[in-house]
C-alpha cells in the first residue's frame, strides 16, 4: 500500500477484517462469564444508578434547563447521554497504548496492516456505546412515552467523535510501543477528564468566566450536541459541526501518517 495514501483507504480496504476482529474482541470480553452479553447492558445501568443516586440524591444536584431546575429523572437521562459519549472515547483511548504490545504476532507478520488495530478498537467501543444508547432510548420511552426524532442526526454528531477517537488511538498506540507507562497515564488522564467534561452538569451551569476553559475540551461540544439531538429534540449546530468534522478529519490524517512513520520500528522493540 502506498505510504502517502489517505487514512480512509486502509480502513475501507480491510473493512471485512476490521469487522471480524471487532466481533472477536467484543465476544471475547464476555467469554466464560455467567451472564455474557448482558454485561453490556448491566454495566451502563449500574453506573447510571450509582452516579444518579450520588449526584441527585446525596449532593442534591438538579439539571437546569432554560433557567428551570429539573428533577432526578431528567438528571439521569442527561447524565446518561453524556456518559455514553465519554465512555466511547475513554474506552477507545485507554486501550490504545497496549494495542501493539498486546498483539506481537501481528507485528511479526509483515503483511498484517497494524494500522487497522485502532479501527478495531474503535469499532469494539462503538458497539458498547450503541448498546448503551439503546438502553437510553428505552429509558426515554418509559419516562416520556417516545424518543426524539432528532436522534436521527446522531451519526452526524458522532462523526467527529469517531474521527477524534481514531486520531488519538493511532498516536497513543504508536507511542505506547516505546513508552509502556503511557497506558497508566492515559487512565489517569481520562479519570480527570470525566469531571472536566459537562457530564454531571450542563456547560451553561458554569460561571461565564469558566465556560471558555471547559469548552477547550473537545468532548464538551460533542457531549452537548448529543444531548441536543437525543434529549432536547433540536437539530445540531451544523456550522460548528462542519468545522469540527474538518478539524478532526485533518487530525485523523496526520495521526495516521504519524503511525505509519513509526510503524517500521515496532518489530525491533516488540
The 10s digit of each residue's pLDDT in 213-228 is: 888 898 999 999 999 9
- Does residue 2 surpass a pLDDT of 50? no
As beta bridge partners, residue 65 has: 68
**Model confidence band, residue 121 (pLDDT cutoffs 50, 70, 90):** very high
Structural domain of 115:
8-269
Residue 43 lies in a domain: yes
The SS3 assignment for 147 reads coil
Q: What is the pTM of this model?
A: 0.89
- Does residue 137 surpass a pLDDT of 50? yes
Residue-level pLDDT at 239? 94
pLDDT in tens, 187-240: 999 999 998 899 888 887 788 888 888 888 989 999 999 999 999 899 999 999
Residue 2 lies in a domain: no
Residue 1 lies in a domain: no
Residue 37 lies in a domain: yes
DSSP-assigned letters across all residues of 209-233: TTHHHHHTSHHHHHHHHHHIIIII-
Q: Under the phi-then-psi rule, with left for phi > 0, alpha for psi from -120 to 50, and beta for the rest, what region is 149?
A: alpha
Instruction: Please tell me the distance from the alpha carbon of residue 270 to that of residue 263, in angstroms, as a whole number.
Output: 11
Residue 3 lies in a domain: no
In the chain, beta strands by DSSP E: 63-65, 68-70
Q: Note every long-range contact of 118-122, with CB atoms under 8 Å and residues 24 or more positions apart, other chains counting.
A: 118/166, 118/169, 118/170, 118/173, 118/259, 119/11, 119/18, 119/166, 120/18, 120/21, 120/22, 120/25, 121/25, 121/92, 121/95, 121/96, 121/169, 121/173, 122/92, 122/162, 122/165, 122/166, 122/169
The x, y and z cell numbers of residue 127, run together, are 458497539
Phi, psi of 244 (to 5 degrees): -70, -35
- Does residue 183 surpass a pLDDT of 90? no
Q: How many domains does the chain have?
A: 1
- Does residue 268 surpass a pLDDT of 90? no
Across 126-134, average pLDDT: 91
Alpha helix stretches (DSSP H) within 37-71: 39-52
Residue 69 lies in a domain: yes
Residue 70 lies in a domain: yes
Amino acid at each position: 500500500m502506498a505510504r502517502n495514501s489517505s487514512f480512509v483507504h486502509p480502513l475501507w480496504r480491510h473493512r471485512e477484517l476490521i469487522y471480524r476482529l471487532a466481533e472477536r474482541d467484543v465476544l471475547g470480553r464476555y467469554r466464560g462469564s455467567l451472564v455474557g452479553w448482558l454485561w453490556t447492558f448491566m454495566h451502563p445501568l449500574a453506573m447510571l444508578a450509582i452516579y444518579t443516586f450520588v449526584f441527585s440524591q446525596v449532593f442534591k444536584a438538579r439539571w437546569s434547563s432554560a433557567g428551570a431546575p429539573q428533577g432526578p429523572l431528567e438528571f439521569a437521562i442527561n447524565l446518561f447521554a453524556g456518559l455514553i459519549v465519554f465512555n466511547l472515547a475513554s474506552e477507545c483511548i485507554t486501550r490504545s497504548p497496549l494495542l501493539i504490545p498486546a498483539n506481537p504476532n501481528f507485528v511479526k507478520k509483515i503483511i498484517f496492516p497494524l494500522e487497522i488495530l485502532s479501527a478495531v478498537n474503535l469499532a469494539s467501543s462503538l458497539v458498547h456505546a450503541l448498546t448503551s444508547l439503546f438502553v437510553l432510548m428505552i429509558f426515554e420511552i418509559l419516562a416520556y412515552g417516545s424518543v426524539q426524532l432528532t436522534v436521527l442526526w446522531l451519526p452526524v454528531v458522532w462523526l467527529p467523535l469517531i474521527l477524534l477517537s481514531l486520531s488519538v488511538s493511532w498516536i497513543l498506540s504508536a507511542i505506547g510501543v516505546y513508552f509502556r507507562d503511557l497506558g497508566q497515564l492515559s487512565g489517569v488522564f481520562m479519570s480527570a477528564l470525566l469531571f472536566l467534561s459537562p457530564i454531571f452538569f450542563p456547560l451553561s451551569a458554569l460561571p461565564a468566566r469558566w465556560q471558555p476553559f471547559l469548552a477547550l475540551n473537545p468532548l464538551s461540544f460533542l457531549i452537548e450536541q448529543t444531548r441536543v439531538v437525543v434529549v432536547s429534540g433540536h437539530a445540531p449546530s451544523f456550522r460548528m459541526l462542519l468545522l469540527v468534522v474538518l478539524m478532526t478529519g485533518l487530525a485523523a490524517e496526520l495521526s495516521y501518517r504519524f503511525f505509519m512513520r513509526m510503524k517500521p520500528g515496532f518489530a525491533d522493540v516488540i
